[in-house]
Amino acid sequence: MGIFFVYILKSSVCLAVFYLFYRLLLSRETFHRFNRVALLSILLLSCLLPLVEVTVEKQTEVHQTMMTLEQWLMLADMMNTTNVAELQIEEVTVTWIQVALLVYLAGILLFAFRNGYSLLKLGNLLRSGRKEDLSKYTDGGEKVTLIVHDHDIAPFSWMKYIVISQKDLDENGREILIHELAHIQNRHSWDLLVADICIFFQWFNPASWLLKQELQNIHEYEADETVIEKGVDAKQYQLLLIKKAVGTRLYSMANSFNHSKLKKRITMMLKEKSNPWARLKYLYILPVAAIAVTAFARPEISETAEEISRMSDALGMEQASLLFSRLHDISAAKVNDLTAIVEAKAVKTTEEPVQVAPVLKDTAKPVEVKIGRAHV
């Protein structure tokens, strides 16, 4: 579990750094499809980069910090209980790490319950409405199920379903359905599903929540652009957005018609297309990825640490705990001596004489044991 937690921490750092650069360089560009691909690529790279193993000769402060963190988390996995007085301070540290792991698992369970509850409500909403033929309102050839409700509800789409109230269908059905069909045709629900999986494991990382919000904004920009391209008057559509701006978004995994900040959506519709050369900004991901790989590189000391971890079974829990607690104080120049120290401890442990309680002469009796050769 400790190794997995280290991986999650590295992945969250990558995600935060990548998102920060995206926010500064690309969020204001009108390349909606490119921005969508960029955000999904950020998610993918954040999952893959921590798995890349690179070894460097010179150890830096960043490497030392990561090594110390890995050692403590590995020690948290190894130690259940210990009574060594010398490790009192280390025990407190490990206990807090274990508490952090429990809080992390509790957050995962809470988020799983939240999404499960949202899916149940979404399923009930899809079953409770009446199904109508979508071809009566639009010319789309998509196999989409239209769910109509008599009570007021904010229009939204999810996978192959569009949910809308009868009032919205009668008043502005064409514009809303074109918008929601754009979400379905562009497979936006799958993007949100991927983002939710990321949040599932990185619920503590604000960048994961911000990235999902950014994805939702891009989805709305793409759908709004499709509506305008279908011949709907831009001013009337913007007035419709203002009219529908008041409403709640009940289902986090669905694409809602009135989602996203209204000012951003209208501004993006009125904004001129970005210069094609602005696409070169996407190359920022290459140096940032290289920096991330270098920062997570394992110095040569890591090989010795792994060897110590493999030898911990021979040393016993107390000696292994003491060794790991002192590992972060050892400089890179003393790495070669570390293995010798461990082997010496192992030899000393095996050579210690076993003390046996004395046997009373009055009760001790010799026992004769005859060993014969077995005949087959």
pLDDT per residue as tens digits for the range 227-264: 999 989 989 998 888 887 755 444 555 666 655 578 88
Residue bearing tokens 């390349």: 31
Residue 50 lies in a domain: yes
Distance CA 263, CA 284 (A): 28
Average pLDDT (324-341) is 48
Average pLDDT (298-315) is 55
Closest CA to 306 of 292, 321, 324, 283: 324
Residue bearing tokens 């993006």: 268
Q: pLDDT-derived band of residue 346, with 50, 70 and 90 as boundaries?
A: low
154: which residues sit within 8 A by CB, 6+ positions away? 244, 247, 248, 249, 250, 256, 257, 258
Instruction: Reply yes or no on whether the pLDDT at 119 is more than 80.
Output: yes
Query: Is the Cβ–Cβ distance between 184 and 159 less than 8 Å?
Result: yes
Instruction: Reply yes or no on whether the pLDDT at 370 is more than 50.
Output: no
Where would I find the H helices in the chain? 2-25, 32-48, 61-78, 88-128, 166-185, 188-201, 206-229, 234-243, 262-270, 285-295, 301-315, 317-327, 335-351
Instruction: Reply yes or no on whether the pLDDT at 178 is more than 90.
Output: yes
Return the pLDDT at 323: 52
Average pLDDT (342-368) is 48
**What SS3 class is residue 352?**
coil
Cα 336 to the center of its chain, rounded Å: 37
Where would I find the H helices in 164-254? 166-185, 188-201, 206-229, 234-243
Average pLDDT (313-319) is 54
Average pLDDT (136-162) is 84
Instruction: Reply yes or no on whether the pLDDT at 109 is more than 60.
Output: yes
Residue 23 lies in a domain: yes
Residue 322 lies in a domain: no
Query: Is the Cβ–Cβ distance between 66 and 259 less than 8 Å?
Result: no
Residue 346 lies in a domain: no
Average pLDDT (158-163) is 92
- The tens digit of pLDDT for each residue in 180-236 reads 999 999 999 999 999 999 999 999 999 999 999 999 999 999 999 999 999 899 899
Q: 298 forms bridges with which residues in the sheet?
A: 55
Residue 116 lies in a domain: yes
Q: Greater confidence, 53 or 222?
A: 222
How many distinct structural domains can be found in the chain?
Answer: 1
Q: Greater confidence, 75 or 240?
A: 240
What's the full length of the chain, in residues?
376
Residue 376 lies in a domain: no
Q: pLDDT averaged over the chain?
A: 75
Query: Is the Cβ–Cβ distance between 251 and 121 less than 8 Å?
Result: yes
Residue 301 lies in a domain: no
Residue range of the domain that includes 81? 2-295
**What SS3 class is residue 336?**
helix
Asked whether the whole model's pTM tops 0.85, one would answer no
Average pLDDT (127-134) is 88
Burial class (CB in 10 A: 0-12, 13-18, 19+), 84: middle
| Distance (Å) of CA 273 to CA 33, 36, 179, 270, 319 | 13, 16, 21, 9, 65
Residue 28 lies in a domain: yes
Around Cβ 174, how many Cβ atoms within 10 Å? Answer: 13
